[in-house]
Amino acid sequence: MWSEEHIETYLKDKLDNKRFLHSLSVRDTAVKMAICYGEDENKARIAGLVHDCAKNMNGYELMNIARKHGYKISSIYEESPQLLHGLVGAIIAKETMGIKDKDIFNAIAYHTTGRKNMSLLEKIIYLADYVEPLRKYPGVEELRELAYKDINKALIQSFDVTIKYVVEKGQMLHLNTIEGRNYLIKIVGE
Ligand SMILES: [Fe+2]
Ligand SMILES: [Fe+2]
């Protein structure tokens, strides 16, 4: 597996500066959340650092890599190929960086859409991406606090923000996001 230094050099080369700084910030936030919830700090650190490694690829590249690895490109990915940057990032983490951990793979792969029955690490990376200190959107302070108090409720809120945003833009909703939200609402209500 690549050293963290090697990963950072790669990210600096592949990402614009804003996205690179965001990656470092997600790394640090993910570590804080891992400590808070008793998750492996090192896994959170690596997954947080790497999660957006494919973010600056264009839609054509993203679809190509996903296709080459046997993933079917459904119509939602044709409409919004950027949704593939999680999955393609996970492929790069595994094949280029040599990160073999399945939970890290999934945390990177599903950080864009979420899904039902997410692992603790998946939840941490999804939320760290949402609430890292460089993020600015209405309601972020409240969500930032909630992220350390009730991870499931915070996740539902962040799904709500995403769903509203996608609907407002008139785009398709990814089924994983809806299933992820339904699943958590059931858990939280029990
Ligand atoms: Fe991302
Ligand atoms: Fe991100």
pLDDT at 190 exceeding the cut of 90: no
Asked if 49 and 27 touch (Cβ cutoff 8 Å), the reply is: yes
Q: In this structure, which residues have their CB less than 5 angstroms from ion ligand 1?
A: 52
Closest CA to 122 of 92, 95, 174, 158: 158
DSSP class per residue in 152-187: HHHHHHHHHHHHHHHHHTTPPPPHHHHHHHHHHHHH
DSSP class of residue 84 equals G
- The number of the ligand nearest the C-alpha atom of 130 reads 2
CA 15 / ligand 2 centre spacing (Å):
11
Asked if 114 and 180 touch (Cβ cutoff 8 Å), the reply is: yes
Sign of the dihedral through C-alpha 172, 176, 179, 180 = negative
| Separation CA 190–CA 12 (nearest Å) | 44
Q: For 86-129, write each residue's pLDDT tens digit.
A: 999 999 999 999 999 999 999 999 999 999 999 999 999 999 99
CA 77 / ligand 1 centre spacing (Å):
15
Q: For 35-73, write each residue's pLDDT tens digit.
A: 999 999 999 999 999 999 999 999 999 999 999 999 999
- The number of the ligand nearest the C-alpha atom of 128 reads 2
Give me the phi and psi of 116, to 5 degrees please. -75, 155
46: left (phi over 0), alpha (psi -120 to 50) or beta: alpha
CA 53 / ligand 2 centre spacing (Å):
9
Q: What is the reported pTM?
A: 0.97
| Separation CA 155–CA 161 (nearest Å) | 10
Q: What is the mean pLDDT of the chain?
A: 97
Q: What is the largest CA-CA distance in the chain?
A: 46
Output the pLDDT for position 189. 86
Q: For 151-161, write each residue's pLDDT tens digit.
A: 999 999 999 99
| Rounded alpha-carbon distances, angstroms, from residue 18 to 2, 3, 12, 92, 158 | 23, 22, 10, 20, 21
- The number of the ligand nearest the C-alpha atom of 56 reads 1
